[in-house]
Structure 1
Amino acid sequence: MSETNRAPAIELIGIDKKFGAVHANKNINLTVAKGSIHGIIGENGAGKSTLMSILYGFYHADSGSIHIDGKSVAIRDSQSAIAAGIGMVHQHFMLVENFTVLENLMLGAEGGALLAKGTDSARAALKKLEEDYELEVDPDAVIEELPVGLQQRVEILKAMYRGAEILILDEPTGVLTPAEADHLFKILRVLRDQGKTVILITHKLREIMAITDTVSVMRRGEIVATRKTAETTVEELAELMVGRRVLLHVEKGSAKPGDVFLSVRNLTVKDSRGVTMVDNVSFDVRAGEIVGIAGVAGNGQSELLEAITGIRKPTSGEIFICGEPVAGYDPAKLRSIGLAHIPEDRHHMGLILPFEESQNAILGYHRDPRYGKGPFLDPELIRKAAVEEIEKYDIRPPNPRLKTANFSGGNQQKIVVAREIERDPKLLIVGQPTRGVDIGAIEFIHRRIVETRDAGKAVLLVSVELDEIRSLSDRILVMFAGKIVGEKSPETGEQTLGLMMAGIAA
């Protein structure tokens, strides 16, 4: 059969899925060519994960059919998917951390009651897979001792060991350094060249352009376009995702730094296990500048923010806000002296999802006399203030009485951003400002952060998105293993920053 006539690796026909009133997938038709890398992009809530969950057997479609290699298949569960030659590498790895690489590879596929025979067979198979696909990893290494890039490699090996001809990767570079991401792309190209089919789910348009052969765009549960990657642009894909033109770069003038608003001196912070996560860190942030902290997740950035914002007590060291020593202050006291905090995880620390939008809009500021008299809150005053923020921050739907859980991720984040920035803080602490946020809301939130800087405020930014750090920051501090290993300008190349993030260069 010729290349053009051979059956596609995957054909989804009329896939439809509802969750109550939410129409997650609407009559999806998708064809993925054998031996290709096919990207699927879309905003949060566009239906990408639902569609892949149907393909991997986590969900059942309400209607429609799935064809693998030209044959109709019924995928009832993940075992059916594996049997059909489909493997999936999840955003959060599905590995047993205190098992070795080989033990994780065999788990669920032991090869009979006699483990010794199965172990020998698995070791030989692993060696061949490593050679075939350039997936080298020590079979006897314990997972928890491996860097995340190698852990991800183990996930790919697991899928290959189970006979996967089709590999689905969900946001695979979210926890990788740039160098690790580049190596992943090299592996994916090798897999493609060996005849495997790869589906890449990501929100990073640059990655789509760098690695895929074809890209499909989802919006509001539908596939609105499929393009040959070589025949499209980042700008066109962004417009297809959002339904309007999007500004993809951050417009900002030069910083005009003023007085030091935040000063951190010799700060050490331990986590709940007694492990040092922030190790003798010192830096300043001035009025009128954005200082970004770059680093792979888990290198102490979260604990640093928690210490500065009063959530976690420092082990030692000092923190000053506008010259006032504040180490040990609680969050309420810090808010009263001009600190505002957009937390890294809006669901756990920024919002109470069953509350109305207007109620979340005053969290932490509920004692403000604008919202009532004495100990009593006035719901009408609260909603009136919420309506003003909804209009100013383009929060949709514009309903202050709607439960916060019913807003999209981007609009939930806008509720938090509006609440904190509208307090006119001296110091704004921002953690992962656009995590799980659609591209249209990213543009809006970035603009607000720059406006806060331009109003003479000091901004400390933490993000695992290196593009975001480089676009927004006036100075970049790089964290590795709890230490600040260097300071760079935002013009510094991605490769240099990536090496620093990996602890290799300064």
Structure 2
Amino acid sequence: MEKENTNIIEMRHIVKDFNGFKANNDINLTLRKGEILALLGENGAGKSTLMSILSGLLKPTSGEIYVRGKKVVIDGPNAAKELKIGMVHQHFMLAKAFTVLENIILGHETKRGIKLDFKTARKQIMALSEKYGLAIDPDAKIANITVAQQQRVEILKVLYRGADILIFDEPTAVLTPQEITEFIKIMKNLRNEGKSIILITHKLNEIRESADRVTVIRHGKSIGTVDVEGATDESLAEMMVGRHVNFKLPKKEAKVGKTILSVKDLMVNEDRGTLAVKGLTFDVHAGEILGLAGIDGNGQDELVEALTGLRHVKSGHFTIKGSDMTNKRPRKITELGVSHVPADRQKFGLILEMSLADNIALQTYYQKPYSNHGIINHKAITEHAKKLIKKFDVRTKDENLKAGELSGGNQQKAIIARELDRNSDLIIVFQPTRGLDVGAIEYIHKQLLAQRDAGKAVLLISYELDEIMQLSDRIIVLHNGQESGEVLPEKTSERELGLLMTGAHKKEGTN
């Protein structure tokens, strides 16, 4: 029988060179049997690259990998699967046209004779779903379910394949506090069953709650591995970014001005035609941050898409700076002075095949100085991109790199750089710090507070309750597409917000 501290994974002196850029530069990592190892590092530090090597998606330039004491070559995902290694990626690997069930069994089909045995597969999947509290609709198409539901599908996919070495890349980024608590229980149960887990996360409290050890990498190099017991948020953050990080930012008293966004009795359908937003009414004023809290799937996506011209409003209306913008085209809305940081950065925020510089110019390329009489000024676009890349610390080889080749956190920073640079009167930010490290979160929070202090109206939609509590001047809670309550952050608690989010006690007059 193996000892508890036996290394089940050893990655020795791993180097990954992308045309002269070393994403991994002599990294060492060990994973013990039956432990949760947290992998911590800044955006672009090389965490996802390292785990993509372990899961067979990338080949290392040099270095060695040992699994269960034996040197191996992991030359593809199938080789990783044979070694019982499974990874849930930050950006999901799902076929959007397929159902949940089809995605889970894809490449690992159960057969009866020459036919696919969907009945047996469904039974096994639903048993896993119930065991681990991962509620799914097996017949729903991936294209029609939320990001959080897609997350559950990816987790079930790995469990269904029988992996006993599990890699989770930012698994709780779209989960509510209650769901995160449940997920941590799931991880601990898996560990107690003898499975070994590598957890990539930027959330230091999750590391303290769930991990046994933490390995820190910075700029592609190993910084060190420490026991979580005895480590503090401050010490881990300093290891990660190489400097002191402020976890609680000073916030000036809000100087609330005129109404910038006014929403009245808004009704918006979801994709299948049923109401997702049900008679919502609220205002956002200049000089304030209004936080919208709620469990994912309670109308947030449809509301933001309606306000930015991406989804049709069924009834009701909204005005921006006094102008009715209901069902206007996205460009009309942005030109009025609206910035939008979307929740899904890859679907709505970036064109992945285009360069970083061109993505930064997406909202302004047709305006001076970036074009003149329809002729694009590429030099102006390049210089502007360089300025924002430096200001917002977007980690990239250069401004010509395709957006799809950036790490998830750096994609997010690029979008925020583009949207905040436009000096808009209304800033709609949805999950602005999803997947960002603590240093980047500190910077983005400072930027949002600076926008508010400069008299801008900020509508913040976030599933991170500490983010909502820290930044908001007022908080509206959504449940089932309706307002279940409005609270002030200094007069509420995460427990009360959690109750409102589940509809346990609702604003009088709602149902």
- Relative to the length of structure 1, the TM-score reads 0.82
| Residue in 2 that maps onto 1:135 | 132
**1:367-410 CA-partner distances (Å, limit 9, x unpaired):** 65566766666666666766765666566679777776676665
**Does the C-alpha gap of structure 1 residues 412 and 35 become closer, same or farther in structure 2, counting only changes over 3 Å?**
closer
Match of residue 26 from structure 2: 27
Distance 1:462 1:155, change over 3 A: closer
The 2-side partners of 1:118 and 1:417 are apart by 44
Contact 2:110–2:118 (8 Å) recurs in 1 = yes
Distance in 2 of aligned mates of 1:354 and 1:155? 25
Letter paired with 1:254: E
Residue-pair matches, total: 499
1:205 aligns with 2:204: yes
Tell me the CA shift for residue 256 of structure 1: 2.6
Distance 1:500 1:389 in 2: 39
Partner of 1:283: 282
Read off the aligned partner of 2:44 and give its amino acid letter: G
Q: What is the CA-CA distance between 1:320 and the residue it aligns to?
A: 1.6
2:62 maps to 1:72: no
Question: Residues 218-274 of structure 1: CA distance to partner in whole angstroms, max 9, x if unpaired?
Answer: 222222111100121112222222222222233312323232221100111234543
Structure-1 residue corresponding to 2:61: 62
Q: Secondary structure at the match of 1:282?
A: strand
Q: Would you say the 8 A contact 2:104–2:160 is kept in 1? A: no
Is 2:253 aligned against 1:251? no
Partner of 1:274: 273
Helix, strand or coil at the partner of 2:7:
coil
What does 1:170-185 correspond to in 2, within 5 Å?
A: 170-185=169-184
SS of residue matched to 1:425: coil
Is this contact kept in 2: 1:55–1:75, CA < 8 A?
A: yes
The AA in structure 2 aligned to 1:234 is D
Equivalent in the alignment of 1:303 = 302
CA change 1:488–1:387 in 2 (3 A) is same
Q: How far apart are the structure 2 equivalents of 1:262 and 1:12?
A: 52
Cα distance between partner residues in 2 of 1:53 and 1:398 = 19
Aligned AA for 1:340? S
3-state SS of 2:446 partner: helix
**Partners of 2:8 and 2:33 within 8 A in 1:** yes
Q: Is the 8 A contact 1:42 1:203 kept in 2?
A: yes
Q: What one-letter code is carried by the residue in structure 1 that aligns with 2:51?
A: M
Q: Is the 8 A contact 1:410 1:436 kept in 2?
A: yes
Give 1:247's aligned amino acid: N
Return the alpha-carbon distance in structure 2 between the equivalents of residues 316 and 107 of structure 1. Answer: 45
Deviation at 1:213, TM superposition (A): 0.7
CA distances 1:4-52 after superposition (whole Å, capped 9, x unpaired): 7x53122222233333333232222211122211111222222222222
Match of 2:509 in 1: none
Conserved? CA contact 1:267–1:318, under 8 Å: yes
Note closer, same or farther for the CA distance 1:281–1:153 as it changes in structure 2 (3 Å cut): closer
Secondary structure class of the residue paired with 1:230: coil
Secondary structure of the corresponding residue to residue 99 of structure 1: helix
The aligned amino acid for 1:493 is S
Rounded Cα–Cα distance in structure 1 between residues aligned with 2:160 and 2:395 = 46
**RMSD of aligned C-alpha atoms?**
4.1
Q: Distance in 2 between matches of 1:226 and 1:502?
A: 39
- For the Cα contact (< 8 Å) 1:106–1:122, is it kept in 2? no
Distance 1:88 1:109 in 2: 18
Summarize the Cα distance change of 1:317–1:243 in structure 2 as closer, same or farther, 3 Å threshold.
Answer: same
Paired residue secondary structure (1:199):
strand
Aligned partners of 2:361, 2:157: CA distance in 1, in Å?
47
**Displacement of 1:430 after TM fit?**
1.9
**Distance change >3 Å, CA 274–CA 17, structure 1 → 2:** same
- Equivalent in 85, 97, 101 of residue 99 of structure 1: 101
d(CA) in 2 for partners of 1:219, 1:232: 18
- The DSSP-based 3-state class of the residue aligned with 1:424 is coil
Q: Is the 8 A contact 1:93 1:152 kept in 2?
A: no
* Shift in Å, 1:171: 1.8
Structure 1 residues 329 and 485: CA distance shift in structure 2, 3 A: same
Counterpart Cα distance in 2 of 1:272 and 1:403: 31
Contact 1:261 / 1:458 at 8 angstroms: preserved in 2? yes
8 Å Cα contact 1:148-1:176 kept in structure 2: no
What is the rounded CA distance, in whole Å, between the counterparts of 2:267 and 2:286 in structure 1? 24
Q: Residue in 1 aligned with 2:327?
A: 328
- The answer to whether the Cα contact below 8 Å between 2:211 and 2:228 also exists between their aligned partners in 1 is yes
Cα distance in structure 2, aligned partners of 1:408 and 1:94 = 19
TM-aligned CA deviation for residue 461 of structure 1: 1.3
- CA offsets per residue over residues 464-490 of structure 1, 9 Å max, x none? 333322221111222233333322333
Q: Show the 5 A alignment for 1:165-244.
A: 165-244=164-243
1:91-136 C-alpha deviation (Å, 9 max, x unpaired): 4376963539xx9579726376398999779969997x899xx536
1:440-480 Cα distance to aligned partner (Å, 9 max, x none): 33222211111111122211112233332222111122223
* Shift in alpha-carbon separation, 1:73–1:396, aligned structure 2, 3 A: closer
Specify the alignment match of 1:110 in structure 2.
110
CA distance in 2 between counterparts of 1:403 and 1:62 reads: 21
**Equivalent AA in structure 2 for residue 113 of structure 1:** G
Could you tell me which runs of 5 or more consecutive residues in structure 2 were left unpaired when the two chains were aligned: 507-511
3-state SS in 2 of match to 1:334: helix
For residues 104 and 251 of structure 1, the distance between their equivalents in structure 2, rounded to whole angstroms, comes to 46
TM, length-normalised to structure 2: 0.81
1:339 counterpart letter in structure 2: V
Alignment-mate amino acid for residue 227 of structure 1: V
Instruction: State which structure, 1 or 2, has the greater radius of gyration over its C-alpha atoms.
Output: 1
Which amino acid in 1 is paired with 2:138? V
Change (3 A) 1:25 1:144: same
Deviations 1:275-333 (A, max 9, x none): 43322211111121101122344432222122222333312111122333221333343
Is 1:409–1:438's contact at 8 Å kept on the other side of the alignment?
no
The AA in structure 2 aligned to 1:328 is N
Percent identical pairs in the alignment equals 44
Q: Is contact 1:177-1:501 (8 Å) kept? A: no
The structural deviation recorded for 1:163 is 4.3
Where 2:441 maps in the other structure, the secondary structure is helix
CA distance in 2, matches of 1:256, 1:124: 57
Q: 1:3 to 1:295 in 2, by over 3 A?
A: same
Q: CA separation of 1:280/1:336 partners in 2, compared to 1, >3 Å: closer, same or farther? A: same
